[in-house]
Amino acid sequence: MTNTDVNYTVGIDVGGTFTDFFCSHNDGQSQTCKTPTTHYDLSVGFMKGMSLLARQNGQNLKDFMTRIASVRYSTTVGTNALIERSGPKLGLITTAGFEDTIFIGRGRSWADGLGWQEGRDQARIQKPEPLISPDMVVGIRQRMDYSGKIIGPLKKEDVLTKVQELVDKGAQGFVVSLLWSFINPAHERMIKEIIEEEYPEDYLGAMPVILSSDISPKSGEYTRTMTTIVNGYIHGVMADELNKLGNELRDSGFKKPLTLVHNTGGTKKASRTRAVLTHNAGPVAGLHGSAVLGKLTGDENIVFTDMGGTSFDIGLIEGGEIKAHDFLPVIDRWRTNIPAIEVKSIGAGGGSIAWLNELMGNALEIGPQSAGSMPGPVCYDQGGTEPTVSDADLVLGLYNAENYLGGEMLLDEELAREAIEKRIAIPLGISIEEAAYRIRRLVDAHMGQEVFNEVALKGHDPRSFVVLACGGAGGAHACGFGTFIGAKKVIAPFQSSVFGAYGASTMPIKEVWDKSYSLKLFQWADQSYLSDLEGFNNLVAELKNLATRDLRLEGYRDDQMHFKLELNMRYGSQYNMTKVRTSRLEMRDAQDIKEICDEFTRLYGETYSPEATFPAGGINVDNFSLTASVASNLKILTALDLVGAEPDHAALRKSRPIYWSPEKGYEDTPIYDYYQLHPGNKIIGPAILESPETTYVVEPGWTFTMDAYRNCIMEQN
């Protein structure tokens, strides 16, 4: 196969510290690289990474770009706009009398998006500044009832008056969220028509109008409105950034549309994407990649973890599938109701800052504050002054200061030692090495405890799960937090440092269409199953028509489309939902409904124990979710032949002293070149395995084996 025959798929994951790239060939080969995230202009780091990939493939940028079949991009542009409050000034149009809904919020909306430390400090806690100020909210006199029947008509004059009021106050866009619009969107659509008629596209005053019935046709007045506001707030910022990036790609030779990763577990063209669905897309891509990798390695129950520079992400693969969904995910400080896959994130990464909590008697704490990419850890020598986890790892000897990222970034160990000594060691009266050791052990314990809780609270034994240790720092801490979980097997993938980008490369074209609609599938009063199936089937048909239309616009044929129906179900008046997948899209009779109810009872029993099930109390469905997808046939990884357990002599670089514990002190430890190791090789720890992308630490009491996909398999002796 010549270079001219090769097609590439490039996955990109923009992180808080680094932007990761994974380039896969149609023959199963791949390359990876990392560039610092350029928050001032994400396209700078993006194009630098594309140039690096071109050089790795022995091509100039233009030739490389013309051979790329797909660019799959997970972006933090929207999240940054929320954090920095850099979005446009929006006006909110709602039903008269309900103008204060977003300011009243929900019972715990003051704590949404805060870590456990901030949430405990109730004396100082503050509600976030609203994305739309009270003076930019207007109420329109109209009303729908719960069934979608119009009981108060909408008047055009009222809309024009209120819209002009918002325009005069500087509105740059409109969010429309009316009562019961998810049942009947007629009034919201009328308002949009009136605004677009008054401010047509050929006027400079034309402004985007975002409807809650389009973005979030689901029950829950506050969450539906906030989902639409968040989408409207980041919509313009993302459009500007992606248009700029798209232009640079086209100028460089890439002629296909840019594809965005969604937090629903799929990808779509940027032009067909709702902005709010890009939130947390990178970790979701990594979780999807875990499921794909698990099929190759034969592991069905996996805890996906990703330790980057800023955060530590946790997700679950159960029985080879992603089953955990976040029904009300928090974006920044706002509770929303997008159909997101659940990935938990805590402030624990290589850039997490170590500090002493004076209120707790100088107790050592790690994070949630992070040094980020600028200035980064102290050892980066970019102006950082606060010691981080990466500084501690360097002081302990785990990182090679002259071979970090393949030598592209030189680290300053003396600066790291000075910071740890000044901030941690001297106040605690301990040595620099012991302070660094405590930092490492504390962050490992924190991550291990969070993983244990996440798995156990979903009804599983964490010790029976394989741990996937991804992220730039995942391989260095895999044994550490694996010990606290009680894991018997930890896999640090060959692509671990860019695993979010790898996961993006494995994702299909996919979107989720969902809508709230309440039905009693099992009636407690007469213990009967739903027999009138018209409402159920009509709603599914409506969602399928929307999904089919969208995929046709993406250029796909009907025979390429796959559909999956899931229902959010609950017992009687319970609050928490359980997601249940059905085997068919159309219900034929009450027996089909009974099968759904039986499956709900089974899943509920798995999660909360069989004793908690109570079908006789009635079973309801409150939300319909239809997933439409087009499978990807791309070959991402190729298995290699296994060789003997003994590594080649060329793989052993040298040895250096590593501080493994205060009891042992420094111990001379072998250092291996990961790229010189072969599938089947085995090494008994302690050992350090270095690659240009990351460092794998095999702690004492652990054994390393390389599998057929060049993954680092670590097992306790």
Whether residues 90 and 196 share a domain: the answer is yes
pLDDT band at residue 116 under the 50/70/90 scheme: low
pLDDT band at residue 659 under the 50/70/90 scheme: very high
CATH number (domain holding residue 253): 3.30.420.40
Higher pLDDT, 79 or 694: 694
Residue 528 lies in a domain: yes
pLDDT value of residue 437: 96
147-201 tens-digit pLDDT: 999 999 999 999 999 999 999 999 999 999 999 999 999 999 999 999 999 888 7
C-alpha angle with apex 398: 691 to 353, nearest 5 degrees? 110
Q: Mean pLDDT over residues 60-89, rounded?
A: 85
Q: Is the pLDDT of residue 290 over 60?
A: yes
pLDDT value of residue 117: 66
Residue 12 lies in a domain: yes
The model's pTM is 0.88
pLDDT band at residue 3 under the 50/70/90 scheme: very low
Chosen domain end from 603, 630, 657: 630
Whether residues 102 and 225 share a domain: the answer is yes
Residue 294 lies in a domain: no
pLDDT value of residue 361: 86
Whether residues 246 and 231 share a domain: the answer is no
30-48 tens-digit pLDDT: 888 888 888 778 888 889 9
Whether residues 245 and 227 share a domain: the answer is no
CATH number (domain holding residue 621): 3.30.1490
Chosen domain end from 200, 235, 270: 235
457-479 tens-digit pLDDT: 888 889 899 999 998 889 999 99
pLDDT value of residue 451: 93
Chosen domain end from 278, 303, 332: 278
Number of structural domains (the chain) is 4
Q: Is the pLDDT of residue 1 over 60?
A: no
With residue 479 as reference, give the H or E element that holds it.
Answer: helix 474-485
Whether residues 165 and 114 share a domain: the answer is yes
Do residues 22 and 504 make contact, with C-beta atoms less than 8 angstroms apart?
yes
242-260 tens-digit pLDDT: 888 888 899 998 988 889 9
Please name the residues in contact with 169: beta carbons below 8 A apart, sequence gap of 6 or more: 91, 135, 136
Q: Is the pLDDT of residue 96 over 60?
A: yes
For 89, phi and psi rounded to 5 degrees? -80, 115
536-575 tens-digit pLDDT: 999 999 999 999 998 888 888 999 999 999 999 999 878 7
Least confident of 241-250, 359-368, 401-410: 401-410
Residue 581 lies in a domain: yes
Q: Is the pLDDT of residue 687 over 90?
A: yes
Residue 215 lies in a domain: yes
pLDDT band at residue 314 under the 50/70/90 scheme: very high
471-512 tens-digit pLDDT: 888 999 999 999 999 898 999 999 888 899 999 988 888 888
Q: Give DSSP secondary structure letters for 172-200.
A: S-EEEE-TTTTT--HHHHHHHHHHHHHS-
pLDDT value of residue 82: 81
Whether residues 207 and 253 share a domain: the answer is no
pLDDT value of residue 634: 66
Mean per-residue pLDDT of the chain: 89
Q: Give DSSP secondary structure letters for 4-18.
A: GG--EEEEEEE-SSE
Q: Mean pLDDT over residues 322-330, rounded?
A: 84
Q: Is the pLDDT of residue 119 over 70?
A: no
CATH number (domain holding residue 168): 3.40.50
Q: Is the pLDDT of residue 333 over 60?
A: yes
Whether residues 72 and 208 share a domain: the answer is no
Q: What is the spatial distance between Cα 216 and Cα 339, in angstroms, rounded to a whole number?
A: 9
Do residues 429 and 438 make contact, with C-beta atoms less than 8 angstroms apart?
no
Residue 552 lies in a domain: yes
Whether residues 7 and 70 share a domain: the answer is yes
C-alpha pair distances (Å), 25 with each of 64, 504, 630, 634? 12, 14, 20, 9
Please name the residues in contact with 60: beta carbons below 8 A apart, sequence gap of 6 or more: 54
Whether residues 612 and 674 share a domain: the answer is no
Whether residues 256 and 225 share a domain: the answer is no
Residue 296 lies in a domain: no
The parent domain of residue 116 ranges over 86-235
Whether residues 74 and 94 share a domain: the answer is no
Q: Mean pLDDT over residues 602-616, rounded?
A: 87
Q: Is the pLDDT of residue 2 over 50?
A: no
Residue 66 lies in a domain: yes
Q: Mean pLDDT over residues 581-606, rounded?
A: 91
Whether residues 200 and 254 share a domain: the answer is no
The DSSP call for residue 344 is E
